Amino acid sequence: MFLRILRRERTAAGAPALAAYLDELFGAAAGRDGEIVSRVHVGRDGRPNGFLGVLPQTMQLDGERLRAAICTTWMVDDHQADPFAGARLLKAVLAGPQDLAFSETSNHLSTAMWRRTGARVLAPYSLEYLRVIRPASFVLRMAANRFAPLGAAAPLAQLADRMAAPGGKRLSWAGYRPHAGKSDALTASTPDEDELARAIRELLAHHALHPHWSEAQLARMLAHSRVKAKHGQRVLRILRTRGGRLAGLFVYYGSRGGIARVMQVMAAPGMEGAVLERLLADAHDGGLAAIRGRTQPALLDAMLDRKFAFLHASSTVFHSARADLVAAATEGRAFLNGLSGESWTRLVGDRFV
């Protein structure tokens, strides 16, 4: 079902590898807590015809530990034959013992189902951002996605970008070049996963509602995030001020001439603009055509100042019976999306062969 419905692949060549990964992600002891579990829908003929994958996560608000259900892969086979199968799956998950449930990849149909349960759509978390760095290369890459032979024109696009590069002091919607004094305001290092995990945990404290990961849990997630064959090589950066204070970090995937997928950006309060400048400079130095990713409220103002464009492809939805948790989410005080979601899994951006 996953390959056919969500990936729209006509062959099942990757089915054994995918089955093993789904078992590791949702079935292994490290990926479940015994009560917050994934759900399978069984049709009248006794065969599975639907699935809603759930990842349990411990979160905290003002020191209180909370149980969360992250709803991920959601699919129903032959929706017309059983139009209520998806609703039954969601109802079963939301009847669980968790304090809150959310999803960062809710499409139009599933969002309508979430709304009927009383869930909130979190608009500031529900936008995809795009920042063009090299316009000719960007246009060519978008065209080559539809007609692969156009990729051979990459050298011409690169030449056009060099000729049309914006001036050093001018922000342009159609291109980017690092600005001295901005992009180099922070020092960047390439950490190992242990260093990255420590920085992530330190920066989480700036969000009122945030995950509480053990070292083993975060290490597992970062290990899962190592390879996303569809998106390119993983890039990790930790950013510090000249005095050595942690300013932020980012994780993205990309290859020269391509469009990078940003999995996570984190910034200390007041450092959002400098972190984004360093992200753009890093992508520029890596020869990327553009970057794209998922918004977080804390970064929106700084993105607007730096000519990011926004579109809506899917929604981040949030469900809880507790008013304080709903307030934290709707007011943008929660750490959601990316690592606090499903973007770190191989189901997003990787191939199974």
Distances (CA, A) of 111 to 7, 116, 127: 20, 9, 14
Q: End of a domain among 75, 110, 125?
A: 125
Query: Lowest-confidence range among 121-130, 140-149, 258-267?
Result: 140-149
Q: What is the pLDDT of residue 230?
A: 94
What pLDDT digit, counting tens, does each position of 35-57 carry?
999 999 998 888 899 999 999 99
Q: Is residue 307 part of a domain?
A: yes
My answer on whether 91 and 165 are in the same domain is no
Q: Is residue 272 part of a domain?
A: yes
Q: End of a domain among 102, 125, 148?
A: 125
User: What's the number of domains the chain is made of?
Assistant: 2
Q: Is residue 339 part of a domain?
A: no
My answer on whether 154 and 82 are in the same domain is no
Q: What is the pLDDT of residue 82?
A: 82
**Looking at residue 26, which CATH number applies to its domain?**
3.40.630.30
Q: Is residue 336 part of a domain?
A: no
pTM of the predicted protein model:
0.91
Q: What is the pLDDT of residue 169?
A: 45
> Using CA atoms, how far apart are residues 292 and 352, in angstroms rounded to an integer?
23
344 pLDDT band, cuts 50/70/90, is: very high
Q: Is residue 279 part of a domain?
A: yes
My answer on whether 42 and 137 are in the same domain is no
Q: What is the pLDDT of residue 101?
A: 98
**Looking at residue 243, which CATH number applies to its domain?**
3.40.630
Q: Is residue 112 part of a domain?
A: yes
My answer on whether 147 and 238 are in the same domain is yes
Q: Is residue 271 part of a domain?
A: yes
Residue 102 clears pLDDT 60, i.e. is over it: yes
Query: Lowest-confidence range among 48-57, 149-158, 201-210, 336-345?
Result: 149-158
Q: What is the mean pLDDT of the chain?
A: 90
Residue 265 clears pLDDT 60, i.e. is over it: yes
What pLDDT digit, counting tens, does each position of 105-127 carry?
999 999 999 999 999 999 999 99
My answer on whether 184 and 306 are in the same domain is yes
My answer on whether 168 and 300 are in the same domain is yes
Q: Per-residue pLDDT averaged across 194-201, rounded?
A: 98
Q: The domain containing residue 218 runs over which residues? A: 128-311
What pLDDT digit, counting tens, does each position of 271-287 carry?
999 999 999 999 999 99
